A and B are shown apart, each in its own frame.
Chain A
Amino acid sequence: DVKVTQSSRYLVKRTGEKVFLECVQDMDHENMFWYRQDPGLGLRLIYFSYDVKMKEKGDIPEGYSVSREKKERFSLILESASTNQTSMYLCASKRANQPQHFGDGTRLSIL
């Protein structure tokens, strides 16, 4: 079974902090994704990566960056956290022509 692990289920940070969200998958998937989920808006794509050191912007990349130094790990970085980045963050991975597999999410609060 595919396992996508997000390092934290709940995280509380302060405005202006640099925040790292980590995601690890164990199935050698080429593609990895970061979404944020907000009520009434569904899931919106922040960034995705189709290979090591490769990344592309999604629909809402402003205020975020990503890092993929190893195939199994995809990190989301909030350069300077703001209160409007309080949200649920979901990581996913997939192989070509297969469905995405999701982690359990990180609920991030920025105070």
Chain B
Amino acid sequence: AQSVTQLDSQVPVFEEAPVELRCNYSSSVSVYLFWYVQYPNQGLQLLLKYLSGSTLVKGINGFEAEFNKSQTSFHLRKPSVHISDTAEYFCAVSWIQGAQKLVFGQGTRLTINP
């Protein structure tokens, strides 16, 4: 069975500092990988996705993530954060076959301090 672990439930950082949100997954089959962001009182918005090809994926709002197959990780990074990045971030995986249900991590709450 697939599972996703986000290693930090909360990450506080100062504005303009770099940030890394960690995500590890387990799966016996090939998967697609996603990061979603949820701003307060909103649904989830896709930040970036890995389907195939280059392991370094760039997304919206200056975020990027690197797929590491040997470590089964898909960590999210941003070199310099802004107050507006305050949100909850979810890592998710889906099977390549079938209806491609998403399995989500528990979420990481990113708080940016001025």
Instruction: Report whether B100 and A94 are in contact in the complex, using a CB–CB cutoff of 8 Å.
Output: yes
Inter-chain residue pair count (beta carbon < 8 A): 54
How far apart are the CA atoms of A92 and B26 in the complex, in Å? 24
Q: Which residue of B lies closest to A41 (CB)?
A: B106
Instruction: Report whether B100 and A90 are in contact in the complex, using a CB–CB cutoff of 8 Å.
Output: no
- Residues of A within 8 Å of B34, CB to CB, are 99
- Residues of B within 8 Å of A100, CB to CB, are 46, 102
How many residues of A sit at the interface, in one of the four size bands? 20 to 34
How far apart are the CA atoms of A90 and B92 in the complex, in Å? 15
Q: Which residue of A lies closest to B94 (CB)?
A: A100
| Contact partner, B43, options A44, A56, A105, Cβ 8 Å | A105
| Contact partner, A102, options B44, B105, B107, Cβ 8 Å | B44
A-B contact pairs, 22 of them (CB 8 A): A31-B99, A31-B100, A33-B101, A35-B104, A40-B9, A40-B106, A42-B104, A42-B106, A43-B102, A43-B104, A45-B101, A90-B43, A97-B100, A99-B34, A99-B46, A101-B46, A102-B44, A102-B45, A104-B41, A104-B42, A105-B42, A105-B43
